[in-house]
A = this chain, B = another copy of it.
Amino acid sequence: MSYNSFGHIFRVTTWGESHGPAIGCVIDGVPSRLPIDEADIQHFLDQRKPGQNRFTTQRQEADQVKILSGVFDGMTTGTSISLVIENTDQRSKDYGDIKDKYRPGHADYTYMEKYGIRDYRGGGRSSARETACRVAAGALARKILGLGIQVKGALVQIGDKKINQDNWDWDEVSNNPFWCPDKEMVPVWEKYLDGIRKGGSSIGAVIEIHAIGVPVGIGAPIYAKLDSDIAAAMMTINAVKGVEIGEGFNAACLTGEENADEMYMDEDGRPALKTNHAGGILGGISTGKEIVCRFAVKPTSSILTPRKTVDKHGKDTEIITKGRHDPCVGIRAVPVGEAMMACVIADHLLLHRAQQG
């Protein structure tokens, strides 16, 4: 049992509060002799970093990662890898207001009830700041995946505005501040989010993550299913309320004829699936097609409209969450979703090796 760890063999343990001295993680089970340095990790951290445009929180964090163990002469040694990121922009004064009041939609109340104490500064442990550690771990996971397996994510819905899947262009994703793969949707979201932001409001989103190049046979029945591990991983990300694989909830509307992916022998003489309704996984094991996962992120509950709540003394009151917030936290969840997918696939690759005779 571990409350702050995930993964079976590739196992990540995270620690740290939003406004403590630092956050970090320990990554266990990484095979030896993988080349890695801080820049490799920093690359992904920079993608998640806040304050990069007007659609993400203006909190400024250098988010500089340091490797404290497990790497020697530029290579992993097979021992536990400790990564640390110092908290540099803590501005604790911003948060003094929430010391006693429970912010609706946040974990303030439930943490207090569970533990009888909470680090209220910036949400403490429940802050999305923790996800920086996941992104760092994801960079290690990608080293295990190697060049053959790519993990990529995109934002596919903000509010009720969904992208047109026919316009999907991976190259477009890095051209806009939304990780949007549909060029035509970018100006729509831009305008829409500006309205949300100026109104001091927030809005939800849906993220889609693909793992490309995963060979057939990765994963395991029954309780270590690849899709179950992906669902668990995504649902641990702050504010995530739903996860689906392939057709997902739409599968409820399909008939057996529509949903099952027919098979054929491909040009290389290998069995293959014609379609990918299954999202790359059958019986918990990869089919060789792209693994496709979507998850829904709720709107942040930090908004400028006063909301009714209670304080820790048991009094009814109101709260306005001042400070610097994201109008759509889903945007910054893209690299986090990618990282979690990379970690799960890496973990199952290692597990797969263990079972090979």
Contacts and interface: CB of A to CB of B under 8 A. Distances in A.
A68 B20 contact: yes
Contact of A204 (B23, B114, B252): B252
Given A256-B302, A282-B110, A80 B4 contact: yes
Interface string A272-300: 01100011011111111000000011111
A24 interface: yes
Interface in A152-192: 157-160
A95 interface: no
Interface residues of A, number: 154
Interface string A238-276: 000111111111111111111111111100010101100
Contacts of A354: 9, 29, 350-351, 353-354
A217 interface: yes
B117 A33 contact: yes
A58 interface: no
A310 B263 contact: yes
A223 B5 contact: yes
A241 B246 CA distance: 7
Contact of A117 (B3, B72, B225): B72
A8 to B, nearest CB: 5
